[in-house]
Amino acid sequence: MASSRNIILFPYLAQGHLIPFLHLARLLEQQTHHLPSISITLLSTPVNIQNLHPLLPSTSKIHLHSLPFDPTAHGLPPHVENTDSCPSPSHLGNMAFASRSLQPQFEEFVTDQLRSDHNLKLYFITDLFVCWTVPIAKKLSIPHVVFTTCGALGTAAFLSMWLHLPHRQTDEEYFPVPGFPDSFRLHRSQMSYVNRVSDGTDEPFKFFNGQIRLSLQSDLMICNTVKKLEPLGLKVLHNVTGISTIYTIGPLVPLGEEKSYQRAGKKLGIKREVCLRWLDMQAKHSVIYICFGSQNTITAGHMLALTEGLESSGIPFVWVIRPPIGAEEINEFDEKQQMQKWLPQGFVERMTGTKQGLLVWRWAPQLEILTHNATGAFLSHCGWNSVLESMSRGVPLIGWPLAAEQFFNAKMLEEELGVLVEINRGIDCELESREVERVVKEVISGEKGDEMRSKASVCKEIIKNAMANEDSGEKGSSLRSLHDLVDFFMKH
């Protein structure tokens, strides 16, 4: 009797992790559709599973299974089950530690699976931040694959920083990073606040360092990037982790699905048709798109400088606005009215009257905006999902990294790929409106912008080729990696 096989995917409780995991599940389903003995299961908590369901086509046979979870037991508000919906930054730590509480539920699900079918073969693909699953895999002799949803260089720098805290070993502003070439230096401002203040005894260090060390015991690693896009990143990722087999399986973003794609559990702040009609009125490559992701925001002072710089530049823009840091959470009903408290008096009316700016509250159809030929640049926090969405559309970036590995992503995009210019860094640095005006003009109408768009177009082709299907010629590098991953499972 042939053994049945189940690939179990388990992401961290964050939107930027859940979505790449769902895309990976869909790609694995496509790669294994001719193998009826293989099933695919994605695990998360009830609210996350509920939000992911609408993103699967009705024909999909991927199983979405929810594990019991009570956020209130971990100091979180009811129904808050991912970092995206945390009402304040102080809750992010709660979410990290709450994710570890899922260990008994996860282990019970796995043992129930094995008990119900003695011929069943299981395989784990788990997030870097839930590598408490590694000891369970070893105990049950289950192959374990760690999945980093970020890019190669960003992941390598993030891991090395939390493994070694190299900035604590020198007083210099610039410092070397273990596992990287001697010429690679980070500035102290290119670090998240929690990493910068960590001394090795704090809770964030214990969490990140602990999960990273467990991840290094995985059988192999898969990375959400493209082999040809990050040669240095892959080299240093091997150096930092010591993991011999790293498959590149990116980009795990929708390609050619702009109209049908929707964000999990997100209600758009503007109708697609209205947004696209506004873009249709703009000249080619003339618009700056501004969005700091689903979890990050800037200060009220930053918002003021950004509005003044944008208005004086005369450059058309689409800006996805969220409440600034320190603002109380506001009800959806009076959101637009409340948000104007942080914008200059009359700014919304002037932008509406001149049609220079389109202000969107909370959520916009990002993929369709980036795909539109009016979009000339993306002012972004440099979260990896946003980076891949921008690069896969050939749109260069204006970088304003705010947290996590975003600083390392921005450094790579600017210094290696030449597709980004950094406008600001973190939330502690001041922003001058004149600098906003200078940068957006340079990127939209200057030679620098033309050069960046040219390089972004090259990246777009690299990404397209990596995902090329057999029907259109040779299978791309990322699809070959997915094939090798499935092959790894079949051999174990």
Whether 104 and 132 map to the same domain: the answer is yes
CATH number, domain at 479? 3.40.50.2000
d(CA 26, CA 259): 18
Whether 156 and 238 map to the same domain: the answer is yes
pLDDT at 204: 92
What's the pTM? 0.93
In a domain, 17, yes or no: yes
Whether 28 and 116 map to the same domain: the answer is yes
Whether 346 and 394 map to the same domain: the answer is yes
Q: Which domain holds residue 127?
A: 5-254+470-491
d(CA 459, CA 250): 13
177-215 confidence digits (pLDDT tens): 999 999 999 999 999 999 999 999 999 999 999 999 999
Whether 227 and 326 map to the same domain: the answer is no
Return left, alpha or beta for 128; rule: phi > 0 is left, psi -120 to 50 is alpha, else beta: alpha
Return left, alpha or beta for 362; rule: phi > 0 is left, psi -120 to 50 is alpha, else beta: left
Whether 458 and 475 map to the same domain: the answer is no
d(CA 253, CA 257): 9
In a domain, 399, yes or no: yes
- Return the H-helix or E-strand segment holding 95: helix 90-100
Active-site option among 17, 91, 285, 302: 17
389-410 confidence digits (pLDDT tens): 999 999 999 999 999 999 999 9
Q: Using CA atoms in the order 476, 12, 268, 424, what is the torsion angle rounded to 10 degrees?
A: -80
Q: In one letter, which amino acid is 125?
A: I
Whether 184 and 280 map to the same domain: the answer is no
Give, in order, the Cα–Cα distances in Å from 120 to each of 13, 306, 481. 27, 56, 25
Whether 354 and 416 map to the same domain: the answer is yes
pLDDT at 345: 85
In a domain, 264, yes or no: no
pLDDT, block means (10 residues), the chain with 492 residues: 84 93 95 86 95 92 95 86 74 83 95 91 97 97 97 98 96 96 95 93 94 97 97 97 96 71 65 94 97 85 94 96 73 59 86 91 91 97 96 97 95 97 92 95 94 97 89 80 94 83
Number of domains in the chain: 2
In a domain, 266, yes or no: no
Active-site option among 23, 91, 127, 302: 127
127 catalytic? Reply is: yes
Whether 243 and 284 map to the same domain: the answer is no
In a domain, 262, yes or no: no
Burial of 475 (0-12, 13-18, 19+ CB in 10 A): middle
492 catalytic? Reply is: no
In a domain, 210, yes or no: yes
Which residue in 344, 374, 206, 209 sits closest to 284, CA to CA?
374
In a domain, 116, yes or no: yes
In a domain, 104, yes or no: yes
Burial of 210 (0-12, 13-18, 19+ CB in 10 A): middle
Whether 129 and 200 map to the same domain: the answer is yes
pLDDT at 1: 46
Whether 337 and 403 map to the same domain: the answer is yes
Whether 321 and 460 map to the same domain: the answer is yes
pLDDT at 76: 85
